[in-house]
Amino acid sequence: ARGASLTDFAEKINVEPAQLVQMLFGLGEMVTATESVNDETLELLGEELNYVVQVVSPEDEDRELLESFDIELGDEGDESDWSVRPPVVTVMGHVDHGKTKLLDAIRDANVIEGEAGGITQHIGAYQVATQVDGEERKITFIDTPGHEAFTAMRARGSQSSDLAVLVVAADDGVMPQTIEALNHAKAAGVPIVVAINKIDKPEADPTKIRGQLTEYGVIPEEYGGDTMFVEISAKSRINIEGLLEAVVLTADASLDLQANASQDAQGIVIEAHLDRGRGPVATILVQRGTLRVGESIVAGPAHGRVRAMIDEYGHEITEATPSRPAMVLGLSAVPGAGQSFLVVEDDRMARQIAEKREARERAAQQAKRRVRRTLEDFMAS
Ligand code: GTP
Ligand code: MG
Does 97 contact ligand 1 (Cβ within 6 A)?
yes
196-249 confidence digits (pLDDT tens):
999 999 999 999 999 999 999 999 999 999 999 999 999 999 999 999 999 999
83-132 confidence digits (pLDDT tens):
899 999 999 999 899 999 999 999 887 766 667 677 777 888 999 999 99
Whether 158 shows a pLDDT value over 50: the answer reads no
Q: Are 267 and 287 in contact (CB under 8 A)?
A: yes
Pick the closest to residue 273 from 144, 161, 155 (CA basis): 144
Q: Are 88 and 142 in contact (CB under 8 A)?
A: yes
CA of 205 to the centre of ligand 2 (A): 22
CA of 106 to the centre of ligand 2 (A): 14
Q: Are 190 and 228 in contact (CB under 8 A)?
A: no
Per-residue pLDDT at 374: 61
Binding region for GTP? 93-100, 143-147, 197-200
Q: Report pTM.
A: 0.83
Q: Are 269 and 284 in contact (CB under 8 A)?
A: yes
CA of 173 to the centre of ligand 1 (A): 14
Which atom of ligand 1 is found nearest the CA of 102?
Answer: 11
* Coil, strand or helix at 187: helix
Residues 239 and 74: their CA atoms lie apart, in Å, by: 37
What's the alpha-carbon Rg for the chain, to the nearest Å? 24
Residues 247 and 162: their CA atoms lie apart, in Å, by: 10
Per-residue pLDDT at 292: 98
Does 147 contact ligand 1 (Cβ within 6 A)?
no
Highest mean pLDDT among 37-51, 133-147, 297-311: 297-311
Burial of 163 per CB tally in 10 Å (0-12, 13-18, 19+): buried
Higher pLDDT, 54 or 98: 98
Mean pLDDT of the chain: 87
Confidence of residue 157 (pLDDT cuts 50, 70, 90): very low
State the pairing for strand pair 192-197/229-231.
parallel
Q: Is the dihedral of CA 254, 183, 159, 122 positive or negative?
A: negative
Which atom of ligand 1 is found nearest the CA of 236?
Answer: 27
Which atom of ligand 1 is found nearest the CA of 95?
Answer: 4
* Coil, strand or helix at 325: strand
Main-chain dihedrals φ then ψ at residue 138, nearest 5 degrees: -100, 150
Identity at 149, one-letter amino acid code: A
State the pairing for strand pair 340-344/82-84.
unpaired
The ligand that comes nearest to the alpha carbon of residue 233 is 1
- Low-confidence winner among 50-59, 75-84, 334-343 (lowest mean pLDDT): 50-59
Quickly list H helices, the chain: 6-13, 17-26, 39-48, 58-67, 99-109, 147-155, 176-188, 206-215, 240-254, 347-380
Pick the closest to residue 86 from 143, 160, 25, 24 (CA basis): 160
Q: Are 138 and 115 in contact (CB under 8 A)?
A: no
Binding region? 93-100, 143-147, 197-200
State the pairing for strand pair 36-37/88-93.
unpaired
Q: Are 304 and 331 in contact (CB under 8 A)?
A: yes
Q: What is the mean pLDDT of residues 14-26?
A: 89
Cα–Cα separations (whole angstroms), residue 10 to 6, 182, 329: 6, 47, 39
The ligand that comes nearest to the alpha carbon of residue 201 is 1
Main-chain dihedrals φ then ψ at residue 179, nearest 5 degrees: -65, -40
User: CB under 8 Å, gap of 24 or more: what pairs does 221-226 form?
Assistant: 226/253, 226/254
Does 94 contact ligand 1 (Cβ within 6 A)?
no
Q: Which of 235, 237, 238 to mutate to test the pocket of ligand 1 (most atoms within 8 A of CB)?
A: 235
State the pairing for strand pair 4-5/36-37.
antiparallel
Q: Are 74 and 266 in contact (CB under 8 A)?
A: yes
